[in-house]
Amino acid sequence: MNNDFNQAPKKSSNGRIFLIIGGIFVGLCCIGALCVGGIFYTAISAIQSSDVYIDAIAKASTNTEVANVLGSPVTPGLMMDGEINVENDSGEANFNVPLEGSIQNGTLHVVASKQGGVWQYSQLYVEAADGTRIELEK
């Protein structure tokens, strides 16, 4: 007599392989996302700690006209764009920083060059969401 009916069916290993490959894929995606996020965080932190960024934000956030138009307090947003290139005592900066106020938002526009360790602004102004433009360097 054949006892094949009493034996448990063989388990397929295809499901286990699929889970292992899927787990590896998800793990690699997470590692990639962490790397990209780390690079982004490092770049933003480097820009936000630069002297030209700090000076421009200070000029915008302490300007009474900016405070009147945007509303106090005026704080910088996170998602800036542009670039800052510095080599020794010279450099170039061209960036925009979103500003948030209690009345409306705006954008700080900065174009500057550094010579002899001193930044000179060719453009430094805030443009409010309603189109009002406030020059910070005249």
Q: Supply the DSSP string of 13-78, one letter for each residue.
A: SHHHHHHHHHHHHHHHHHHHHHHHHHHHHHHHHHHHTSHHHHHHHHHHHT-HHHHHHH-SSPEE-S
Q: Residue 7 domain-assigned?
A: no
Compute how many other C-beta atoms are within 10 angstroms of the C-beta atom of residue 69: 21
Q: What is the pLDDT of residue 22?
A: 87
CATH number at residue 117: 3.10.450
Together in a domain, 38 and 79: no
Note down pLDDT in tens along the chain; length 138 residues: 555 556 666 666 777 888 888 889 999 999 999 988 888 777 777 778 899 999 999 999 999 999 999 999 999 998 888 999 999 899 999 999 999 999 999 999 999 999 999 999 999 999 999 999 999 986
The whole model's pTM is what? 0.73
Q: Residue 96 domain-assigned?
A: yes
Together in a domain, 45 and 56: no
Q: Residue 2 domain-assigned?
A: no
Together in a domain, 65 and 102: yes
Q: What is the pLDDT of residue 7?
A: 65
Domain with 36, as residue range(s), is: 14-49
Together in a domain, 93 and 63: yes
Q: What is the pLDDT of residue 115?
A: 95
- Report the domain count for the chain: 2
Together in a domain, 45 and 71: no
Cα gap 122→8, rounded to integer Å? 81
Residue type, 116: G
At residue 2, the 3 state secondary structure works out as: coil
